[in-house]
Structure 1
Amino acid sequence: NLEWGVRDDPDRCRALGLFILGSCNRNDCLAYDPHYIYMNAPAGDYWIIVDGRDNSTIAYTLTIHCGDNPLPVELTSFDAVSEENGVHLRWTVASELDNDGFEIQRSNADSEDWVIIGYVRGRGTVSSSATYNFVDVDVVASRSYTYRLLSVGVNGEQETLGLVSATYTSAEPSVASEFRFLGNYPNPFNPSTLLRFETAEASEIAIEVFDVQGRLVSRLLSGVVAAGVHEVSFHADGLPSGLYLARLRAGSNSDLLKMILLK
């Protein structure tokens, strides 16, 4: 199963084609298609030719899936760690195939039922590794939890990837600051990340995002927020890769958070 595509204007690539050859001989063509190829062939060496008949140079991506039933997601690690603001889940994948995202489920000693607590978007079909993060903030001190990670395909099919357990150990509450950022997950991110912040009392809060030139690129929140831990999403669609600064303001006080967009 071999798929390919171009990263340029499709109108400039109408003459582009893909050939699979059994040997270094154009007459020994096993398959041809202008966009997508399915083929079965024994193990061995094959030649792949991308033919642009208009003599132009085009950047392209090429993905090869080997085996009868390639895994939609190849999981390499899955961990759960108790942190100050909740249980931090982190998992790494080596590749993804038609992956819409990851569903996070949780159970505890009081119940054997699985409850959906979150969803993290995947990257579709890629052959490169990536690390994902999710923080379960709805936890109780000294209680143990089991987490189940599932991949969800673009067709809706689900597959269980792994299980981990952790006991949440709460830290002593901080009284050093009236309000502050608790971080963002994931970081680096693409194309969205979840910012967490806390306030000791109800406050007029504004959260804005700036690029490294100091230009405002997004206004995430403006209004009165109750005391406690809160979340707000930052979607960076259409923005270039780089460093971005989130600023949390309450009156004359402010807090900054550095975020890295990596496309």
Structure 2
Amino acid sequence: MELENEYTNGDCYLKFYIAIPSDSKPSKPENLKVACSSNSHPLLTWNSNDEPDKYGYVIDRAEGSGENLVWENNIATVTTTSFIDYEVSINPVFEDEVSYRISALDTQGKLSIPSSTATIGDAVLHKLPSESNGLYDFVLENAYPNPFNPSTTINYQIPKDGLVTLKVYDILGREVKTLVNEYKTKGRYEVTFDASHLASGLYIYEIKSGEYKASKKMTLVK
């Protein structure tokens, strides 16, 4: 609140400033950490943002550490607060370092400023040929872990913008869960399938985008 003007009789004008949260960028994610996962890949974790219009998080990666890093933007967009980078392997025989940062993304497409940087050593980056020069192929990866209980992670990538659907079916072909059904920009994505309410057995997950269609199997063991 600001005092705009005041008259000798005591009357005055007041200015009010109101911040509208939906018009603001998200706050930057906090407490980004990177460690080696059980299958020897970088595992990123961070605190969840509290904004009501939060959509997810965009992950950037760079080779090396320190200042003046050359960032590869948006290697993945996730809606959870963790991410495993399967393109990087961790082993004491490797000597490289890989750094990460993340930005929060809201439902209006606004990005926060990047988080602080987290770096892991003993790393090597396996660049996929399809991603050279920023290009992608359609890829539906194997769920990990598989078999699983009760949840597993599915990664996929698309080479162009478009409507993407990713659904899970039981062995009889009945749909049990829609994981993705929305317009996506080209890039790499990760989604988590929680099957805590389902019975043990074989399930099929299928992705469709434009003319592309692919499916894979996964096994729930309780």
TM-score by length of 1: 0.41
**Structure holding more strand per residue:** 1
TM-score by length of 2: 0.48
Max Rg structure: 1
